[in-house]
Amino acid sequence: MKIERTKSILFKGMQDSILPIAVAHGEGYATLDNTEIDGMAKHGQLAMRYVDSQGHPTETYPLNPNGSVGGVTGLCSTDGRVTIMMPHPERNLKAYNHSWKPEEWDEDGAWMRMFRNARAWLR
């Protein structure tokens, strides 16, 4: 999963990160065309994409479990306050939730930052 350059308050400071993610099912297929995707990216509304091991958007299973065009799996509103996504970052909050992790991950998983961003925005 790659966090795009987005206005989403959830992903502040996470842009261009490539993170592991839990996916529970193949639902959440985004029915968008490339013109719509490009327009949303231009306005900071494209939040996340499924990517391959080189960080390129993919439409291929199992890297993209639902085949969404351009790997799109997360979008946000024009002001960044509302974000929708298909995967489940709440299942990867702690380092021990990952089947593999870098040794420097002692306690928190990579997705904890998203929840801390939400909390910081609420203050």
First-to-last alpha carbon distance for the chain, in angstroms, is 28
pTM tops 0.85: yes
User: What does DSSP say about strands 46-49 and 83-85: parallel, antiparallel, or unpaired?
Assistant: unpaired
Q: Find, among 100, 55, 51, the residue nearest to 72 by Cα.
A: 51
Give domain limits for the chain.
2-87
What pLDDT is stored for residue 39 in this prediction?
95
Cα separation, 2 vs 23, in Å, equals 14
The structure tokens listed for 82 are: 């509302």
Q: Which residue has the higher pLDDT, 115 or 101?
A: 115
> Average pLDDT of the chain?
91
Cα separation, 19 vs 44, in Å, equals 19
Residue 58, pLDDT above cutoff 80: yes
CB neighbour list of residue 38: distance below 8 Å, 6 or more residues apart:
none
Q: In this structure, are residues 76 and 6 in contact, taking their beta carbons and an 8 Å threshold?
A: yes
Mean pLDDT for the stretch of residues 39-57: 95
Mean pLDDT for the stretch of residues 81-109: 89
Please state, in angstroms and as integers, the Cα–Cα distance from residue 90 to each residue in 109, 111, 112, 113, following that order: 10, 7, 8, 11
